Amino acid sequence: MGSDRAPLAEPGERGSLTVLDRAIERIADASLTRTSGIVSGGGAFGRRPSRVKVTQEGRVVRAAADCTVTWPRSAVVVADELRRDIARGMADSGLRAESVDVRVGDFAAPRDRDLAASAGSTADLLPAPRPLAAPAATPWALLWTLALLAGAAVLIRDALAVWNVVPGEAWTASALDYLDGLGPQSWMVPAGIAAAVVGVLMILASLKWRGRRYRPSGIADDVWIHRSDRAKLAAAASDTSGTSGASATGSAAATSTATDAENGTATGAPTVETKGATS
């Protein structure tokens, strides 16, 4: 019976190859970073400015790219380059791109090209948004959070008291008994006024714009510095430069980087403009 068995195929011809959709999307995402003029990173709220979705049937792949193009690059030229790059990446992976649909959904300002080049990518990155102050409603939200936690603790304690897990009576039952049949009281008018004032303040806090407390540092487009830190930097520069009576304010202090063009090295030391009399 052993002689009737068919001979095994060569080891290199056995088994099968399965490429998952996630791996194919990674291949297509690499094309986004290689194609010049495609913004591939820096989106807000975790949303990528450019992305690719793929579907496959065996070794045949269909790709749909939704991308952001750097202005003033031609959307047609960039889309053609991206389409060819995705098809080339699929062919290098043993797949065949049946169709590559490219949709240009937005244009972005051409910034941070040096940063993208230093990272080894020819794609452009979206500039980081300007940092803003914390919302004015943050303290109110914190107070409401503490109040909700306190209320939850009271309810849990009352439930344990009803189940005889902890001694004592339920606090909520006592509070409801007090409120049952409660008539007009002298303290209700000022309490109502205070509640109305607090409500108005909360509404104003929720509608207030977030403050712009950060100013451009002069070092790079995406480097910002707080107004108070600019004043401190100006004061430190005046101390090291030997000036006396210098006045440094957040609006008067302007920072920049000094670069030695001859040696090709950046000093990294900020220069500060101050007002005052030298001794």
Stretch 30-45: mean pLDDT, rounded? 74
What is the number of other CB atoms lying within 10 angstroms of the CB of residue 248?
20
What is the number of other CB atoms lying within 10 angstroms of the CB of residue 225?
21
Does the pLDDT of residue 277 top 60, yes or no? no
In a domain, 229, yes or no: yes
Same structural domain, 169 and 245: no
* Residue 258 pLDDT: 37
In a domain, 45, yes or no: yes
Confidence of residue 240 (pLDDT cuts 50, 70, 90): low
Listed residues 104, 125, 146: the one ending a domain:
125
| Segments forming the whole domain that contains residue 218 | 214-272
Q: Which residue has the higher pLDDT, 194 or 15?
A: 194
Closest CA to 35 of 88, 91, 72, 111: 88
pLDDT in tens, 82-135: 899 888 888 888 888 888 889 888 887 655 444 444 334 444 455 667 788 888
* Residue 181 pLDDT: 80
Q: Supply the angle between the helices 188-207 and 138-162 in degrees, to the nearest 10.
A: 130
Please provide the average confidence, as pLDDT, over all residues in the chain.
74
Same structural domain, 54 and 97: yes
Q: Which residues of 27-44 are buried (b: 16+ CB within 10 A; e: fewer)?
A: bbbebbbbbbbbbbbbee
Name every residue whose Cβ is closer than 8 Å to that of residue 19 and which is 6 or more positions away in sequence.
56, 93, 94, 95
Query: Tokens standing for 85?
Result: 């790059």
Listed residues 162, 185, 207: the one ending a domain:
207
Stretch 40-69: mean pLDDT, rounded? 77
Same structural domain, 191 and 246: no
Q: Which residue has the higher pLDDT, 228 or 88?
A: 88
In a domain, 9, yes or no: no
* Residue 228 pLDDT: 80
The CATH number linked to 44 is 3.30.70.1350
Place of tokens 């972005």: 108
In degrees rounded to 5, what are phi and psi of residue 235? -65, -40
Same structural domain, 180 and 87: no
In a domain, 69, yes or no: yes
Same structural domain, 221 and 156: no
In a domain, 171, yes or no: yes
Does the pLDDT of residue 150 top 80, yes or no? yes
Distances (CA, A) of 72 to 78, 80, 82, 107, 111: 11, 16, 17, 8, 12
In a domain, 238, yes or no: yes
Same structural domain, 52 and 107: yes
- The DSSP bridge pattern shows strands 255-260 and 265-272 to be antiparallel
In a domain, 172, yes or no: yes
Same structural domain, 178 and 230: no
Same structural domain, 22 and 114: yes
Stretch 242-252: mean pLDDT, rounded? 46
Using a 10 angstrom Cβ sphere, with 0-12 exposed, 13-18 middle and 19 or more buried, the burial of residue 116 is buried
pLDDT in tens, 20-37: 777 888 888 888 888 888
Listed residues 207, 235, 254: the one ending a domain:
207
Name every residue whose Cβ is closer than 8 Å to that of residue 277 and which is 6 or more positions away in sequence.
243, 244, 245
Range name among 108-112, 182-186, 245-249 with the lowest pLDDT average: 245-249
Same structural domain, 103 and 148: no
* Residue 14 pLDDT: 66
Does the pLDDT of residue 232 top 90, yes or no? no
Same structural domain, 90 and 151: no
Does the pLDDT of residue 47 top 60, yes or no? no
Same structural domain, 149 and 175: yes
In a domain, 4, yes or no: no
* Residue 191 pLDDT: 93
Question: For the chain, what is the domain count?
Answer: 3
Same structural domain, 23 and 77: yes
